[in-house]
Amino acid sequence: MIYTTDGINYTDTKPPLSELKGVKVTLNGTLTSPESDGSNPFVSITAPLIPKKDDIINNNMLNQPMFPVTGQYSIFYDWSIQDWFYELNSSMIMGQFQFLNPALPGKAVTVLYQDENGKEIATPETLNGNIGDAYTAEQKSISGYTFKEVQGNANGTFTDQAQTVIYVYRMNQDFSSIIVHDSNLTVGEHWDAQDNFDSATDYWGNPVDFSNIIVSGDVDTSKAGIYKVTYTRGVPNFFSDSENHGIYSAIATIKVSDKLPDKGNVIINYVDEAGKTLSKSIVLSGDVGESYSSEQKRINGYTFKEIYGNANGQFTHQTQNITYIYKKDTVLPSAPKPAIPTSTSKKGLMKTKA
């Protein structure tokens, strides 16, 4: 339906009342009127498309017989005509209309939160508003993830087209760890769970104090045995289907043995009169109180002379030394051998004639 300022009216088929929000009017040119004195220009438009009474339900403005409706819009400055609307409004005075630009709902802006693989990691947001209104898509703080980039316009205006904004996040690397070590004890020694704990770190690699570690199992040092102790730390499950989160634990093995008897050592040395080693030393070991016995060695070129220490005795807490001393054998000079005669030389002999 197009109206012009030449006084010619154009009509159109009446739209269904359920769909009627207003009548769009397009004016071409500058608003002028022969009746205007220039100080208050106006224009009058006839709009014979008011719905009939039998088409109306509970609307005081529209519940009237069809009749021409006129109205005016005052302007006091040069104005370039744009698209305006004649909107039916029950609060207006009968027989008048207004030119206005009604708020039209724009299409929604959907804000998504995804990881680098396009997997949803937070509930999407839907933003609504009228065409031309500004919108802002908010970035979220998501546990276990670091913001990487945004795809689409985080700030913009609503239009007649649906828009999508995607916030992309990178999953944080999991630095969780628990480190323990094994140990050996003897019956009667003291043991504490912290003795086998080395260190622990949380998801972000920060140190975790032993007070935040759950210990399962105990060690009875009153009797021999092998004991398993579990050290556990709970890690928050940011998402139930993530394999990178859960319970972290480590197991330490503590072996408790019966107390061993004290040991004693006896070192047997073999030297000459000057203290020079003639043969490799022998080390005897045994429980304190047990008997030991050392032996004299036969060493070529030497004759046993004496022994320092107890050749036979018992092992004690202190290391004992036994030294076998040898005297070097005397080497007798051998008898001279007779000289072997050499052949007689014939040089100088002369034969004479008879």
Per the domain annotation, does 333 fall within a domain?
no
- In one-letter notation, the amino acid at residue 63 is N
Q: Do you know the residue count of the chain?
A: 354
pTM, entire model: 0.35
pLDDT at 207: 92
Q: Are residues 24 and 74 located together in one domain of the fold?
A: yes
Per the domain annotation, does 337 fall within a domain?
no
pLDDT at 225: 94
Task: Please tell me the distance from the alpha carbon of residue 237 to that of residue 344, in angstroms, as a whole number.
Answer: 118
- In one-letter notation, the amino acid at residue 279 is S
Count CB-CB contacts under 10 A for residue 182.
13
Q: How many domains does the chain have?
A: 4
Task: Please tell me the distance from the alpha carbon of residue 322 to that of residue 310, in angstroms, as a whole number.
Answer: 6
Using alpha carbons, list the distances in angstroms from residue 205 to 35, 148, 178, 194, 200. 84, 21, 11, 21, 9
The CATH number linked to 117 is 3.10.20.320
**pLDDT in single tens digits along all 354 residues of the chain:** 333 334 444 444 554 544 444 444 444 444 444 444 544 434 444 444 444 433 333 333 333 333 333 333 333 333 333 333 334 444 434 334 444 456 789 999 999 999 999 999 999 999 999 999 999 999 999 988 999 999 999 999 999 999 999 999 998 877 888 999 999 999 999 999 999 999 998 877 889 999 999 999 999 999 999 999 999 987 654 443 444 345 688 999 999 998 877 899 999 999 999 999 999 999 999 988 999 999 999 999 999 999 999 999 999 989 999 999 999 998 777 666 666 766 554 444 444 444
pLDDT at 173: 79
The CATH number linked to 244 is 2.60.40.10
Q: Are residues 196 and 245 located together in one domain of the fold?
A: yes
pLDDT at 84: 38
Strand partners, 38: none
The string of DSSP codes covering 92-128 is: SPTT---EE----BPPPEEEEEEETTS-B-S--EEE-
Range of the domain at 316: 263-328
Q: Are residues 96 and 1 located together in one domain of the fold?
A: yes
